Copies of this chain bind each other. A is one copy, B any other.
Amino acid sequence: LVAALELVSEVGAQGFSLREVARRAGVTHAAPYRHFASKESLVAALCEDGFNMMLKHMHDAMHAAGEDPLARFQAAAMGYLKFAVTCASHFRLMFGANSVNREQYPTLLDASHKGLAIVMDLVKACQRAGYFRTQQSSLELSLAGWSTVHGLASLYVDGQLRNLSLQLGDLETMGQLVAKAMLDGLFEPSHRSAAV
* Interface of A toward B, CB cutoff 8 Å: 13-15, 70, 92-93, 95-99, 102, 112-113, 123, 126, 130-133, 135-136, 139-141, 143-152, 154-155, 157-161, 163-164, 167-168, 174, 177-178, 180-193, 195
Contacts and interface: CB of A to CB of B under 8 A. Distances in A.
B184 A193 contact: yes
Contact of A158 (B13, B95, B133, B184): B95
A175 to B, nearest CB: 10
A150 B174 CA distance: 15
Contact of A148 (B144, B161, B189): B144
B95 A98 contact: no
Contact of A181 (B102, B136, B152, B154): B136
B186 A141 contact: yes
Nearest to A149: B151
A150 B154 contact: yes
A97 B14 contact: yes
